[in-house]
Structure formats: structure tokens, C-alpha cells
Amino acid sequence: IVARKLSSNASENHWSLRDDAAKTLAQACNLFGDEYVTLKAQVLKTLCGAAAPTDARGKRQSLPTTYGGFVGIMLFGPKAIDAFLLPLALGYWNQWEAQLETTTNLAARLDIQMCQQIALHAIGVYLRQASSSAKNVPGEWQQLEETFADRLVPMCEEPEEYALCFV
């Protein structure tokens, strides 16, 4: 969605640019999706490629690219999150946690934490917007609980569920 190099200064906020680019792309798909029937599918395919661990040449994706793919897919709603992001987030999470334990470079840590943040945000969107029948897929909730543990507590629908965690 955006160029590989966004600025000459690494400290500039490229995250908000990625957010805005993903929002613009989702708006374009909503606006022109009826006229161009394959537009959404092609865009989702491109975003999945960005969110995937490696690109088409087998080269490892950068974390900002992964972040951009996650943001873009998330904006397509709970069905896209369920189909494309949940499997990726489950696969990435433990890898990101291990990298955080060994990485001392602050810029690299920020990249990892931003990817974790958008993964959790996408899961929250999914849990709030998906129908209850979609969320009751056997094994899926258990897999989410095992991977994300207490990070899912604020995303619980029932306030009582959240309160019971403190009792």
C-alpha cells in the first residue's frame, strides 16, 4: 500500500501513514467494489501477502509491512479477520514474544509491539462484531485463550466475565 521507504528519518511516525493508507484502501473498496467485482478479492490477496511471514520470493516480511497488512485486513471486518488474521496472529504471537525477550534494540522492540497491538485490536474487533455462532467454532476460542491468555479479558462481552477475573 505504501512505499518501502517512507521518510529519511526513522523516528517519523510511519505507523499513522500505514493506518491512513489502509483506511483509504478500505474506503475505495467499499466505494468501487460493486463496479469492480474482483476489487475486494484482489486487495485482500495483496494485504494477505503483506501480512504473511514471507513474500512471494520467500524473503521475510518486515514488521511494518506485516502491521500494514493486519490493519488493512482488519478493516474488511470480522469475516476477513476470522479467515485471514486469526491464523496469522496465532502463528506470529509466540514468535513475537520470543523476539521481545531477546531484542534490546528499541526500534525493533517498537516494531514488534506495534504488530502485537494491532493483532490484539483485530481480535477485539472480531470478538465484538462477529456473530455468536461464528465465535463458537470448536477449538478456536480455546486456541485464542491458550495463545493470548489474559490479554483477551478486556474483550469479553459480559462485564461479569471480566469482574470474575479479579475475584
Q: What is the pLDDT of residue 59?
A: 85
Q: What is the mean pLDDT of the chain?
A: 83
Q: What is the pLDDT of residue 134?
A: 53
Cβ atoms of residues 93 and 148 within 8 Å? yes
How confident is the model over 57-69, as a mean pLDDT?
Answer: 90
What does the DSSP assignment read for 1-41? ---S---S-TTS-HHHHHHHHHHHHHHHHHHHTTTSTTHHH
On the question of pLDDT at 1 being above 70, the answer is no
On the question of pLDDT at 5 being above 50, the answer is yes
Of residues 167 and 156, the one with the higher pLDDT is 156
Q: What is the pLDDT of residue 167?
A: 44
Q: The pTM is what?
A: 0.82
Per residue in 76-122, pLDDT (tens digit) is 999 999 999 999 998 899 999 999 999 999 999 999 999 999 999 99
pLDDT band of 143, cuts 50, 70, 90: confident
How confident is the model over 13-38, as a mean pLDDT?
Answer: 91
Per residue in 33-53, pLDDT (tens digit) is 889 999 999 999 999 999 998
Between the alpha carbon of residue 148 and those of residues 40, 84, 143, the distances in Å are 30, 17, 8
Q: Which of 2-6, 31-35, 55-59, 60-64 has the lowest mean pLDDT?
A: 2-6
Closest CA to 61 of 69, 71, 53: 53
